[in-house]
Structure 1
Amino acid sequence: MKVLIVDDEQHVREAIRLLVDWEELAIEKILEAHDAQSAMAIMEKEQPEIVFTDMMMPGQSGVELMEWIQETYGQTKVIVVSGHDDFEFVRGAVKYGGLDYILKPIDPDDLQAAVSKAVSQRRKEDQEKALNKQHTIEMAIEMNQIKPVYRDKLFSHLLDEPDYYFSLEDQLCLEYGLPQETGISCRSAILSLDTMEKGVRSKFSSHLELLFFSLINICNEYLRKEQSGVAFRYWNNRYEIVLLLWKRLDAAPSLLHTLNEAFCKALGGQFEFGLGTAKAFPHGLPSSYREAAEALKRRDLLKRHTWIHCYSNAAEDEEGASLHFTDYEETIRFALLSGREEQIEQAVGEWFRAVGSLPSIRLKQVEQWMQEYNILRKTWLEPLSCPDPAESGGGKTFTALPLNEQGKLSLDRWKKELTGQLLTLSKQLAEERQRKQNVIYEIEQYIRRHFDEDVSLQEIANRFYLSREYISRRFKQEFKVNYSDFVTDIRISKAKELLRSPDLKISEVAGMVGFPDDKYFSKVFKKVVGLSPNDYRKRMEKDSSIRPAAVSSLSEGS
């Protein structure tokens, strides 16, 4: 912090220097000026936080200096040190923000107190200013985070409900450059991420959100130049980027090629686009979007003739449409039930020989085959009420297509993945059949989860659709103890753990392990353990207090 002393008398300036404990107040630099004009020059260069000024000086007065300071450096704290107890001077000091008015000769205590007050106020104001600045920065960051979300939600809503446009027409025209004239047309394009090249896929495998952020930013940078459209993340499909175009619609394919060139430079790869035809805005938006999606579904996954797939009304090539995964259901199911790896590989091989004979494979076909496969999986698992192992590993990735390094469909990789899934499924089915055959262990787990409830043998029989006699017999065979003793052993074992806590009453422990009557609990506990619950607790406390001494004596003896 810096201080400026302004006075035409040198001995006054020296007195102020000597009378204040500057080090205690963390004042690092003390400046001097003999008149108002030189003081202004120093302030412009050094910008001190505190100024001492005389009121009567050659040239401009102290009042004029204070007026200039207030207008130019409003946060600077001014302390008046004057030999004149004049009302006009005092009034001027108050008017222009003087913090204190000290009369000469200077009282050291008054001077120290005035400087301390000025330092304290200035630091408080600086802290508030820093906090306000930080708050402004945080608000700006938050707004920058909210804006893309708002944009995505706004245009997703518009795509789903075109009439929504009329409630936001002025805002959309102002913020995104939508033409205000009536009768305009629009086109929808979809940027597909499901056939990325290996380079991009590897780079962003664990940073998918960053990839979306980068792609949308690049798209909007080009679209904003001519206010010709907007790119956004579609809320109904969070793995899809949609471009809404409303200017130079005939040049849309060229624009998408330009975007791919920008993607190559920034991200190291290109992306496939589906492009719908021009439709009336806003009601034609959903139709154009559906066309863009259809154009992507119709593309050949084995060959890439172009990165831009324009929708066409031409009749779709139906070759391969009659091939269904369900036609091979019986062969694959028998292979699964056999549990033999070679039989599963043979069944999968038959399916892929049929797929490999097709001249082209379109995304629409693959999606249909995958849907059929998932339905069959559920059918195979349903009789055993078996969880799907494919869904227990944290969910599926955003693309289920097995691709090669160029982002094209790889039948070899798909075959390997499908074989691996079916081998895992076959093992799961075998284990589940075995578990169902030995239902007694499922009953055991149920008892361990509900030991504190009234789990009677009859309730278990009803729950698992078995007879009481069968459960009793199997329990004796498997665990070498009858059902009631098994439940009691679990409860007493849990009670031993709870009794180690001195904060729990015996009655509370009894209730927590399924004994509503604490006297009956004590009777059963003593029968099993050989001690009452209270005696058992005392022994545990005694053992814990003896143990450290025993350890100490052992260490001394060694």
Structure 2
Amino acid sequence: MKAIIVDDEKHVREAVKLLVDWKYFGIDALFEAQDGEEAIELIREHQPQLIFTDMMMPVKSGLELLEWLAAHYACGKTIVISGHDDFQLVRHTVKHGGVDYILKPIDAEQLHAAVSKALESWIRDENERHRQRQSNIEMNQFRPVYWEKLLSNLIAEPSAYEASAAALSQEFGLDRNVKECRLAIMTLDTMNAALKKKFDANSDLLFFSITNICNEILRAGQRGIAYRYWNSEGEIILLLFGSDDSWNQILSSIQQGMKSALRSSFDIGIGRVQPFPSGLPPAYKDARTALRRRNLLSKQKQVHLLPDPLPTQQTVISFSDYAERIRLAVQSGSPEQISKSVEEWIAAVGKLDSITLEQLELWWSEYNVLRSRWLAEWFGDQPPVLQTSMNSAPFFIPSDETGSLSIPLWKKQLTESLTELSKHLLEHQHRDQNVIYEIAKYIQNHYHQDITLQEIANHFYLSREYISRKFKQEFKVNLSDYLSDIRVEKAKLLLLNPHLRIAQVAEMVGYDDEKYFSKVFKKTVGLSPNEYRKVNQP
């Protein structure tokens, strides 16, 4: 901490220096001034927390110094040390923020108490200032998010505009006289690889940078507002005021600004003129449709205008038409066959002059539906966890370094995805075959016990349905019939022993009920146990 002693008498300054325990109060820098003018210069330079001043001094008095402190340095805490016991002087001290008024000669205890009081007051004020600064920082961080969410909400609920019209006018210059608008969407889904990598760990900073560039251009002539759209990932809204054709020049300037600042450009979709604010929902739909129907094969990032009237979008080719060939390739387990099946699909795609985002999303959806069907068919209720990009991620555009759609990359990703699926299928089939034979062996070793399908399911940690289905696929017979056949074959051998009663044989092969055993035996062999024994008696 710092302190300054202001008095035209040196011996008074020396007395104050001796009487205050500076180390105790944490004051490590002490300054002196002979008058108020010299004190002001030192205060401006060093900004001390504590100020001791006399009242009657040449050049600039303590009265004038107090007035200057109140106007220019109110955070400092002032203690007046004066030889004049004058009510007006005390009143002037209190009026201009003085902490205490001490008379000369100086009393050490009184001075100590005054310093304690002054520094406690400064610490309280400083804590409050710190809290206020933190609050302002948090408010400044929250403020853009608040406006972005409010503006985003207007697209879904334009009726909410009236409640915030005054605030929007003050913040963005959005005049109530604005009756028409255009809405543009800047999408980040095709930005170049270098920019994506640069902001990969901080997408918020990327949005902040882009909206700042846009708003510098838009607010220069109060032509609109740019903000992050919170209801859809990777979109920035450009709300353009009015209905004239200057939007083309504005968006061109924004694209140029992006190239200069970020060395990248972005696709922008813009719709038709709509009434403001009621037309915001269709305006957003227009701009989004313009983006979704742009040609992803184009290497140039540009402004895409929605035509009026809107042409009908026709499906070009369907992924489902190639599904059976691909499914058989996956089941074959051959990487070569998988590659050939994908090549057929890619060859068909490669003949197209244009591929839109709508078309790409449709193909992606078809692939996911087919893959889900295959997973259910091949793996039942225990599908594998797939890791490759097309198996684990939400929809994305397979793009090259420039951010444009890359057919070779798409081919590579699709091939990897199907190869991974095929690998899991082969492992699953091998594992299934092993476990089913283990179950068969378990039955052969425990046929004489009262084993049930549920008991087997618990033992092998598999579902009853799964065991029944796989067992039938592998052995072409139901598990219960398989168990009965084993028991009957064992019973045939035991019946050759004339000393064993039928009930004993039934119990030895796992049947508690002799009658039920006889019924099962006759159904399988065609003879009752007794008849079989007579026929096969040595």
TM-score exceeds 0.5: yes
The answer to whether residue 415 in structure 2 is matched with residue 419 in structure 1 is yes
Q: 2:66 and 2:313 mapped to 1: Cα distance?
A: 87
Instruction: Give the direction of change, closer, same or farther, for the CA distance of 1:121–1:198 in structure 2 (3 Å limit).
Output: same
The answer to whether residue 117 in structure 2 is matched with residue 121 in structure 1 is yes
Q: Choose 266-275 or 160-169, whichever is displaced more.
A: 160-169
C-alpha offsets along residues 5-63 of structure 1, whole Å, 9 cap, x if unaligned?
Answer: 5365x655555555555555535335263xxxx3x12321223623254x7x6879998
Q: 1:135 and 1:270 mapped to 2: Cα distance?
A: 41
User: What's 1:375 paired with?
Assistant: 369
C-alpha offsets along residues 423-482 of structure 1, whole Å, 9 cap, x if unaligned?
Answer: 111112233344455669999xxxxxxxxxxxx9599389832799x89x99xxxxxxxx
Instruction: Give the direction of change, closer, same or farther, for the CA distance of 1:328–1:118 in structure 2 (3 Å limit).
Output: same
User: What's 2:51 paired with?
Assistant: 50
User: What's 1:460 paired with?
Assistant: 458
Instruction: Give the direction of change, closer, same or farther, for the CA distance of 1:11–1:313 in structure 2 (3 Å limit).
Output: closer
Q: 2:354 aligns with which of 354, 360, 373?
A: 360
User: What's 1:351 paired with?
Assistant: 345
- Deviation of 1:67 (Å): 6.1
Instruction: Give the direction of change, closer, same or farther, for the CA distance of 1:248–1:123 in structure 2 (3 Å limit).
Output: farther
Q: 2:33 and 2:116 mapped to 1: Cα distance?
A: 22
The answer to whether residue 159 in structure 2 is matched with residue 163 in structure 1 is yes
User: What's 1:152 paired with?
Assistant: 148
Paired residue type of 1:241: I
Instruction: Give the direction of change, closer, same or farther, for the CA distance of 1:442–1:259 in structure 2 (3 Å limit).
Output: farther
CA contact (8 A) 1:386 1:432 kept: no
User: What's 1:537 paired with?
Assistant: none
Instruction: Give the direction of change, closer, same or farther, for the CA distance of 1:227–1:387 in structure 2 (3 Å limit).
Output: farther
The answer to whether residue 275 in structure 2 is matched with residue 274 in structure 1 is no
User: What's 1:41 paired with?
Assistant: 37
Larger Rg belongs to: 2
CA contact (8 A) 1:80 1:93 kept: no
C-alpha offsets along residues 515-550 of structure 1, whole Å, 9 cap, x if unaligned?
Answer: xxxxxxxxxxxxxxxxxxxxxxxxxxxxxxxxxxxx
Instruction: Give the direction of change, closer, same or farther, for the CA distance of 1:134–1:438 in structure 2 (3 Å limit).
Output: farther
- Deviation of 1:279 (Å): 1.2
Q: 1:379 and 1:41 mapped to 2: Cα distance?
A: 88
Q: 2:11 and 2:163 mapped to 1: Cα distance?
A: 75
Q: TM-score, normalised by structure 2?
A: 0.71
Paired residue type of 1:310: L
CA contact (8 A) 2:290 2:305 kept: yes
User: What's 2:323 paired with?
Assistant: 329
Q: Choose 434-443 or 18-27, whichever is displaced more.
A: 434-443
The answer to whether residue 242 in structure 2 is matched with residue 241 in structure 1 is no
- Deviation of 1:264 (Å): 0.5
Q: 2:429 and 2:324 mapped to 1: Cα distance?
A: 19
Q: Give the 5 Å matches for 1:76-115.
A: 76-80=77-81, 82=83, 88=87, 97=98, 99=100, 101-102=102-103, 104=105, 110-111=107-108, 113-115=109-111
Q: 2:131 aligns with which of 135, 155, 163?
A: 135
C-alpha offsets along residues 364-394 of structure 1, whole Å, 9 cap, x if unaligned?
Answer: 1111101100111111112322446447989
Q: Give the 5 Å matches for 1:436-447.
A: 436-437=432-433
SS of residue matched to 2:246: helix
C-alpha offsets along residues 300-357 of structure 1, whole Å, 9 cap, x if unaligned?
Answer: 12224660110013564867x2410111111111111111111111111111111112
- Deviation of 1:165 (Å): 1.9
CA contact (8 A) 2:6 2:39 kept: no
- Deviation of 1:412 (Å): 1.1
Work out the percentage of aligned pairs sharing the same amino acid.
Answer: 35
Q: Choose 18-27 or 125-134, whichever is displaced more.
A: 18-27
Q: 1:296 and 1:177 mapped to 2: Cα distance?
A: 28
Instruction: Give the direction of change, closer, same or farther, for the CA distance of 1:386–1:241 in structure 2 (3 Å limit).
Output: farther
- Deviation of 1:415 (Å): 0.5
The answer to whether residue 267 in structure 2 is matched with residue 256 in structure 1 is no
Instruction: Give the direction of change, closer, same or farther, for the CA distance of 1:95–1:291 in structure 2 (3 Å limit).
Output: closer
Instruction: Give the direction of change, closer, same or farther, for the CA distance of 1:325–1:77 in structure 2 (3 Å limit).
Output: same
CA contact (8 A) 2:296 2:354 kept: yes
CA contact (8 A) 1:389 1:428 kept: no
Q: Give the 5 Å matches for 1:166-315.
A: 166-181=162-177, 184-247=179-242, 249-304=244-299, 307-313=302-308
User: What's 1:6 paired with?
Assistant: 7
Q: Choose 333-342 or 171-180, whichever is displaced more.
A: 171-180
The answer to whether residue 333 in structure 2 is matched with residue 339 in structure 1 is yes
CA contact (8 A) 2:152 2:231 kept: yes
CA contact (8 A) 1:233 1:242 kept: yes
Instruction: Give the direction of change, closer, same or farther, for the CA distance of 1:153–1:338 in structure 2 (3 Å limit).
Output: same
Paired residue type of 1:323: I
SS of residue matched to 1:250: coil
SS of residue matched to 2:352: coil
SS of residue matched to 2:421: helix
Q: 2:60 and 2:253 mapped to 1: Cα distance?
A: 68
CA contact (8 A) 1:344 1:422 kept: yes
User: What's 1:513 paired with?
Assistant: none
Gaps of 5+ in 1: 444-455, 475-558
CA contact (8 A) 1:79 1:114 kept: no
CA contact (8 A) 1:90 1:101 kept: no
Instruction: Give the direction of change, closer, same or farther, for the CA distance of 1:64–1:29 in structure 2 (3 Å limit).
Output: same
Gaps of 5+ in 2: 440-453, 469-478, 484-538
Paired residue type of 2:464: Y
- Deviation of 1:129 (Å): 3.4
- Deviation of 1:243 (Å): 1.4
Paired residue type of 1:263: M
SS of residue matched to 2:368: helix
Instruction: Give the direction of change, closer, same or farther, for the CA distance of 1:425–1:46 in structure 2 (3 Å limit).
Output: same
Q: TM-score, normalised by structure 1?
A: 0.69
SS of residue matched to 2:340: helix
| CA RMSD in angstroms, aligned pairs only | 3.9
Q: 2:94 and 2:438 mapped to 1: Cα distance?
A: 87
Paired residue type of 2:348: A
Paired residue type of 2:167: Q
